[in-house]
Structure 1
Amino acid sequence: MASRKSPLFDTATTVGKIMSFLGVSALCGLLAAGLVFPLAATGGAAATAGSDLLEEIPAELSEEPLSTPTRVFASDGETLIATFYEENRQPVDYDEISQYMKDAIVAIEDERFYEHGGVDARGTARALVHNLTRSTQQGASTLTMQYVNNVLNNAAIVRGEGRVLFSGINDKTYADKLREMKLAVAVEQEMTKDEILEGYLNIVLLGGQTYGVEAAAQYYWGIPASELNLQQAATLAGMVQSPNYFNPEYNPENSTWRRNVVLDNMLSLGYITEEEHREAREAELGVDPHPQPHGCAQASFANYFCDFVQRQVLSNEAFGEDEEARKTMLYRGGLDIVTTLDADTQRAAEDEVMATVPPGDDSGAVASIISVEPNTGNIVAMAQSTEYDPDRSFADGATTLNMNVGPEFGGGPNALPVGSTLKPFVAAAWVEQGGSMNDIVDATGSEFEQGDWVDASCLPGGGFRLGVEADSEEGDMWSVENVGENMNRRMSIDYGLYNSVNTATLATAFDMDMCDITDLTDRLDIVRASDGEGMNPSQPSFTVGGTELAPLTLASAYTVFANDGVQCEERVFLEITDWQGNSYPVPEEDCSEKLDADVVAQVNDTLVNIAERSPTNNSPFPAGNPPFPMLGKTGTSGENSHTWFAGSTKGLTSVAQIGRLEDIQSLNERRIGNQGPFEWFYGSSMAQPMWYEYIEKVGRNYDTGDFRESPNSEFDNRRESYPRSGALPGGRNGGSSNNSNNSGNNDSSDEDDNNDDDD
């Protein structure tokens, strides 16, 4: 290793000249004779030189908070999700440390600790004689000097300066040693011996990433530091000289020998009796490792939520000016982060997705569920049916990609087509502009000619021509198909949404200003997962689901249906403190009205009927008899590769999704988990039943009240005798869509699972 040049030994400085004049040996002689500390013991030129030298050295110990683990908790503040650390340390008070431990460390590292003032002149003289007469080197660091050394190292690392001092005496320059000595004297004048010993025992390295006696006691024996017995304390004290060489877990013979040296010293100094000494030497090490897992891969549960929290911290300026500073805060700042996650809800979500689509399923499908509280924006569950493991492949059922969020927070590169789950927002825009869910639209058209004009007041020219790209004279014909028979006809907007009729949704959109729709979706922060951009009014395929969203985006948007038009910003933090009791700001609840409550009530009437009157055959409750009020909408991508159910109770909005994570391939005719194969794989096939099973388990833990009623009483009771679409081959109602359109996005269509069930 290249030697470091200290400015104290630069011969261009006054001090450097003094050092050159005195010579290193003379300096060592001064130190050994006690002529440097205290300076009052010296006189003449040597004292003056020593005084000048010491004036060049900082007199105050530059401290930073001790590096301690960050812990992430569920919303109850007690259920631990994960721990992050570079140094596993659990600071404790002096009286929480076994007396054996205190005596052992003094006996082996600094037997005159209670007699000197920071620098031990006798020890320094002994080391000098040894170093001058033998080929090996011996140090003379007191416990106070070692404490100073550790504090300086910790401060340098926290500030990003790297490790500036080293435990080995051969790594230190004389300037390093002088600085330690001066600072040790200063520390002794400011701190009591007990405080110094407490600080030292909390900061010292005791093997691997384990620092301090509390973390070490917990790791090696699973007990607190206050319960360390004699032989355990002697083992830890013996490790200080070389934490790896004397590690009791990996080098038990070395550790036993060193432990016995400590016990011998304790006996000779009168800390223990002959009997205690004999029994301790004969005892086994008894190591029973209790590793402290850390990082999201080792989280106890909610691994993907853990990853989301980690990325939130690393992207938030409140935790540091840049990502490196934020990472230091996360891994060394000793934060206690209380999140919005509800532990019971999360476990129910994990159980449900794993039971529906096991990890590594041959179909390539993955199930996911995310839940948000409508009245707070709190994310309470985030689950998917894969194992969070960076060392295994997706083929083994493992990935670190988070299906529930966008790429900026760990989502995959392949976005998830949302199908018909966006159709309710088209209906809401219609009602917001003065229309009614009872209004009739002409849904006969399934082919749209090149050049048809579509109003879009926010675009240059006030609109665009369908099928004509901005940079060309010609475009492709755009065609869509409906699910079921007899759907290409005139119908109410309500009927079209209830039966998920593509041509009805497009007719609604083309009968209004497209920018009224995108104004609404922009208000609700509905953005594409692929690039974070909002819906493009010149690409109308998004109205029937021809776009890709993160499930969290969709869940947040659907909260307006449960919360009377009010949307709250998603939240993940409830409280953040550090180990010293300092609090950090967390986002407050931020809710605002995005839609008029009466508009929402009209659309809800349709969504309630979809969720409550049309459960699938394997629902946990019969059709028309839900355990509490609910609303929702199914969705299926054009390729039948991704299927959805987005829905809500009054107190919990949840999005369930089943689809392929790695590529877009049809899931038709495939067995998924223990279900299928399905001739046509739709949102009502598995995503909707999974949502029902999940919400039946957790729904009662949240508000299960009624939704706001529509102000139009005639509207409220219009659907007692809906005509249903005809059955398709195989007893299923379904269809497909043509994927050619002016935007290049995938069109979507949905299906009826049976005569009582929509997609």
Structure 2
Amino acid sequence: MVKTFKILLILGLLGAISAASITYAVYYNVKDRIPSVEELKTIELKIPLRIYTADEQLIGEFGDQRRTPIDYNEIPQGLEDAILAAEDTNFYHHPGVDILGLGRAVMQLITTGQKQGGGSTITMQVARNYFLSFEQTYTRKFTEIFIALKMERELSKHEILELYVNKIYLGNRAYGFEAAAQVYYGKSLAELNLAQLAMIAGLPKAPSRFNPVVNPSRALIRRNWILQRMLSLGMIDKPAYQAAVESPVTAKNHGIMPDIEADYIAEMVRSELYDTFGDDLYSTGMTVYTTINAARQKAANEAVFNGVLAYDRRHGYRGSIETRVDLIDAPLEEQESALQDIGRFKDWQTALVISTTEATADMRLADGQRTTLVWDAIKWAKPYLSEDSQGATPSTVADVLVPGDIVRLRPDADLGWQLAQKPTVQSALISLNSKDGGIEALVGGFNFYENKFNRITQSKRQPGSNFKPFVYASALSRGYTAASIINDAPVVFNDTNLASAWRPTNDGGKFYGPTRLRQALYRSQNIVSVRLLDELGVRPTLDFLRRFGFDPNELPHNLSLSLGSANLSPLQIATGYAVFSNGGYQVQPYLINKVIGRNDDVLFEANPVTVCVTCTLLDKSPDDEQQMALFNTDQGIRSLPVAPQVIDSEVAYIIYDMMRDVIKYGTGRRARVLQRNDIAGKTGTTNDGRDAWFSGFNGELVTSVWSGFDNASSLGRGEWGGSVSLPTWINYMRSALANTPSATVYKPSSLVTVRIDPDTGERALPGQKNAIFEVFRKEHVPQQRQVNLPSAVDTVRNEAQDKQQDNNILENLF
């Protein structure tokens, strides 16, 4: 008996020594893979780049892992219970390794020859996810155990569970449970009910197999099993269990759900930051705040969208996407598949025409639903012949649609659905704060996902008459006035920089004779602009245009410059117009306001040059050190670099005042619908109508709209800046300026208003009935003309007395 005991003792000791030796050998083999205490306590998650508007609305997200980290105290109790019930019931009682669980896994392997359950605890899963690969080897498993044991010594259970909740992969590029809640339900974890929490708690075991979007039936079984476990463990009561298991599967793929659509902006930010941060941009949790105003961006989106559709519809219907008569009697699944293959467009639907009557069309939508398209939703569709012409107005549905047609429909608040087509024309809008250059709204094209080409920054097109105000500003800076007379008459130029003799004409071929510059601008008279540039000289004007940010090397060195023949981007045009809006100062457009790191450290903060009229008045010619001035803001006094003054504020105001007349009397008259006295602007249309522009502003905001085809073909007969781009500008500015006070451009007190003869631009004679008021710089006020005939003076005096005018009017007359 004693001998047997000794043998057993020796064998036990040998076994213990062997086990210890094996354990040490395994530990020695894997010790280099076990993280240090510092590594355990400084674990960093891969967090995507997130881009926000200035008012903290999400614009976009970039990164291969969708993740929104949360703290332990943000984990709903229902989710924690569901995770423990599904993954590790003894989590709060084991040291990181569940011996019984591992034993069961080993026995299953021995008895079945197959690995059925890993016996992994939550701690072991955290160790694997953070520090190891997913290779199926015993070495990896042992390493996982050692790391788990070390984690349990160094971290609290709550810290370990927090790491698990934020790291685990849950399908559809969602890492962590908060991201999964957003992806599958479009909500935060705090908004999910028990059934939904149990559903996503079932994903770690097999994210693809139990995906509620791809495999809802399997996901339902897994969810209900977890709910049953929670009930048996006393985590929930019977009524809560019953309500949860009876809940339907409501998960959908919500993907990334930005608060505001601004894809061109998001890509601009991503591209700019990538040059600095490289691939770290997508994983280090940077947060970017832009200068974008969410409400104005939404208004810009709608204005461009509706403007493009309005142009497209008035040029006719180009027909169905295709006609598939064989689909009419095909099984529903085949119809849906064919329609999905065509692809949806924004919130539109593709639809199959099943049958038609004289005034209706029976349609099957891509989502399987049926709808009836009424005549009011179809009757607009005149056949497209060319950009210049359309066919006859349809009288019945059969003139437009036939059974088997596959078409696009767009939602309509009144009609339900309306016949639509994907536009071929493009439009773009840029709106910026003229005081510091902050971009408040930007739309680079009709649909980013079809064409990522950003027409605000990447496209350079001819601005046409939209460029004329810059030439006129050059003239005012060199002694011309708004009342200066230029003869609008036929002329031939033999410019050595032009290929042949040039005979410029006005639109419509009409000539107006001697014309004041103010009239010429609001009528957009080409001859006056060309003659004016000829008088000014091309080279001096090119040098002056630098002040607006234009590079003379990019501008034509001939008289066609006066008609906007330069190739410029909408961003360049808007930046130039900002000089007029802010009273003569050059600002630099910028989009990124601040970049914040994962630890709330500021990686970048914009410090834009900012208009400070007071600073400039104190010192008209500040040196570099004096450029840094105290700028008074709503937040208090802060140090900002002062924007340089590039044109005289008197010139800026007179140009603004002249462009207000573009809206009052000229080519921008449609904008009078806004009923604002502070807005000014200029249309622009190039030869053959290839480009249509409208740029306008008040004393705070500058907005430029371009429209045209990417291939530079004509917009068609009768299409101008005033018909294509101005309506988009109006619709945007109506919203952007709503509830804002009038913001006129700063008017220097040195300007003088006098009465002039509208025909000659000279000072009006006393009593002249057709005299009008004009604004002048003091040194350019026309001289008072002398009246040589005494009878004329007497006549004026008698007329004044007859009309019982007061002394103030008499003073104005003389």
Partner of 1:417: 462
Q: Secondary structure at the match of 1:371?
A: strand
8 A Cα contact 1:150 1:204, kept in partner: yes
Counterpart amino acid of 1:199?
L
Aligned with 2:737 (options 699, 702, 705): 699
Q: Distance in 2 between matches of 1:59 and 1:383?
A: 48
Q: Distance in 2 between matches of 1:291 and 1:656?
A: 35
8 A Cα contact 1:426 1:543, kept in partner: yes
Aligned with 1:501 (options 508, 520, 525): 525
Partner of 2:794: none
8 A Cα contact 1:91 1:212, kept in partner: yes
Partner of 2:446: 386
Q: Distance in 1 between matches of 2:58 and 2:24?
A: 59
How far off is 1:197 after superposition? Answer: 1.1
Counterpart amino acid of 2:145?
M
Q: Distance in 1 between matches of 2:707 and 2:505?
A: 23
Q: Structure 2, unaligned stretches of length 5 or more?
A: 1-14, 316-386, 388-423, 611-642, 762-814
8 A Cα contact 1:418 1:547, kept in partner: yes
Q: Distance in 2 between matches of 1:368 and 1:588?
A: 27
Q: Distance in 2 between matches of 1:500 and 1:279?
A: 75
Partner deviation per Cα, 1:622-668 (whole Å, 9 max, x = no partner): 9xxx5222222221101123222222111221223343344321521
Q: Distance in 1 between matches of 2:702 and 2:708?
A: 20
Change (3 A) 1:174 1:349: same
Partner deviation per Cα, 1:473-523 (whole Å, 9 max, x = no partner): xx4333322346674866555554444333333333333453433333334
Change (3 A) 1:548 1:54: same
Q: Secondary structure at the match of 2:659?
A: helix
Change (3 A) 1:653 1:179: same
Partner deviation per Cα, 1:361-381 (whole Å, 9 max, x = no partner): 434544544321211212223
Partner of 2:368: none
Partner of 2:344: none
8 A Cα contact 1:640 1:667, kept in partner: yes
* 1:310 aligns to 2:267 (yes or no): yes
Counterpart amino acid of 1:682?
W
Change (3 A) 1:50 1:466: closer
Aligned residues: 601
8 A Cα contact 1:636 1:643, kept in partner: yes
How far off is 1:199 after superposition? Answer: 1.6
Partner deviation per Cα, 1:566-599 (whole Å, 9 max, x = no partner): 1322122344446654444232222322322233
Q: Distance in 1 between matches of 2:190 and 2:679?
A: 54
8 A Cα contact 2:581 2:699, kept in partner: yes
* 1:286 aligns to 2:286 (yes or no): no
8 A Cα contact 2:264 2:442, kept in partner: no
Partner of 1:374: 434
How far off is 1:277 after superposition? Answer: 9.8
8 A Cα contact 2:427 2:707, kept in partner: yes
Change (3 A) 1:634 1:227: closer
Change (3 A) 1:220 1:384: closer
Q: Distance in 2 between matches of 1:621 and 1:257?
A: 61
Aligned with 1:633 (options 654, 674, 682): 682
Aligned with 2:84 (options 98, 106, 112): 106
How far off is 1:606 after superposition? Answer: 2.5
* 1:585 aligns to 2:604 (yes or no): yes
Aligned with 1:339 (options 290, 307, 319): 290
When the two structures are superposed, what TM-score results if normalisation uses the length of structure 1?
A: 0.69
Q: Secondary structure at the match of 2:440?
A: strand
8 A Cα contact 1:377 1:570, kept in partner: yes
Aligned with 1:549 (options 553, 562, 568): 568
Aligned with 2:137 (options 163, 173, 183): 173
Change (3 A) 1:477 1:372: same
Q: Secondary structure at the match of 1:255?
A: helix
Counterpart amino acid of 1:131?
L
After TM superposition, the structure 1 = structure 2 runs for residues 178-189 of structure 1, keeping only pairs within 5 Å, are: 178-189=142-153
Change (3 A) 1:224 1:114: same
Which structure would you say has the larger RCO, counting Cα contacts within 8 Å and 6 or more residues apart?
1
Change (3 A) 1:94 1:286: farther
Change (3 A) 1:526 1:174: farther
Partner of 1:95: 73
Partner deviation per Cα, 1:94-129 (whole Å, 9 max, x = no partner): 233233432333344334433333334444444344
8 A Cα contact 1:634 1:644, kept in partner: yes
Q: Distance in 1 between matches of 2:54 and 2:703?
A: 18
Q: Which has the higher strand share?
A: 2
Q: Distance in 2 between matches of 1:716 and 1:603?
A: 17
8 A Cα contact 2:668 2:682, kept in partner: no
* 1:562 aligns to 2:614 (yes or no): no
How far off is 1:248 after superposition? Answer: 3.3
Q: Distance in 2 between matches of 1:150 and 1:315?
A: 32
Counterpart amino acid of 2:246?
E
Change (3 A) 1:89 1:692: closer
Structure whose alpha-carbon radius of gyration is higher:
2
* 1:57 aligns to 2:36 (yes or no): no
Partner of 1:479: 503
Partner deviation per Cα, 1:444-500 (whole Å, 9 max, x = no partner): 573222xx5xxxxxxxxxxxx423xxxxxxx43333223466748665555544443
Percent identity at matched positions? 26
* 1:208 aligns to 2:172 (yes or no): yes
Partner deviation per Cα, 1:199-239 (whole Å, 9 max, x = no partner): 21222122323332334345555665457666555443333
Moved more, 351-360 or 92-101: 351-360
Counterpart amino acid of 1:386?
F
How far off is 1:684 after superposition? Answer: 3.4
After TM superposition, the structure 1 = structure 2 runs for residues 10-409 of structure 1, keeping only pairs within 5 Å, are: 46=22, 49-50=25-26, 52-60=28-36, 61=39, 65-68=44-47, 70-77=49-56, 79-84=57-62, 86-137=64-115, 138-152=117-131, 165-166=133-134, 171-220=135-184, 224-226=188-190, 232-262=196-226, 266=230, 270-272=233-235, 275=238, 279=242, 283-284=245-246, 286-289=248-251, 291-294=253-256, 301=260, 303=261, 305-316=262-273, 320=277, 322=278, 324-326=279-281, 328=282, 332-358=283-309, 360-361=312-313, 362=315, 363=387, 365-383=425-443, 386-390=446-450, 399-403=451-455, 405-407=456-458
8 A Cα contact 1:59 1:182, kept in partner: no
Change (3 A) 1:380 1:712: same
Moved more, 517-526 or 540-549: 517-526
Partner of 1:756: none
Q: Distance in 2 between matches of 1:240 and 1:74?
A: 34
Counterpart amino acid of 2:33?
I
Counterpart amino acid of 2:121?
T
Aligned with 1:649 (options 681, 698, 713): 698
Partner deviation per Cα, 1:544-582 (whole Å, 9 max, x = no partner): 111232222211110111111113221223444466544
Moved more, 181-190 or 122-131: 122-131
How far off is 1:686 after superposition? Answer: 4.6
Partner of 1:28: none
Partner deviation per Cα, 1:688-720 (whole Å, 9 max, x = no partner): 455445435533544523334467756765475
Partner of 1:536: 555
Counterpart amino acid of 1:56?
D
8 A Cα contact 2:463 2:565, kept in partner: yes
8 A Cα contact 1:263 1:277, kept in partner: no
Partner of 1:21: none
Aligned with 2:535 (options 508, 511, 515): 511
How far off is 1:406 after superposition? Answer: 2.4
Counterpart amino acid of 1:429?
S
When the two structures are superposed, what TM-score results if normalisation uses the length of structure 2?
A: 0.65
Change (3 A) 1:604 1:264: closer
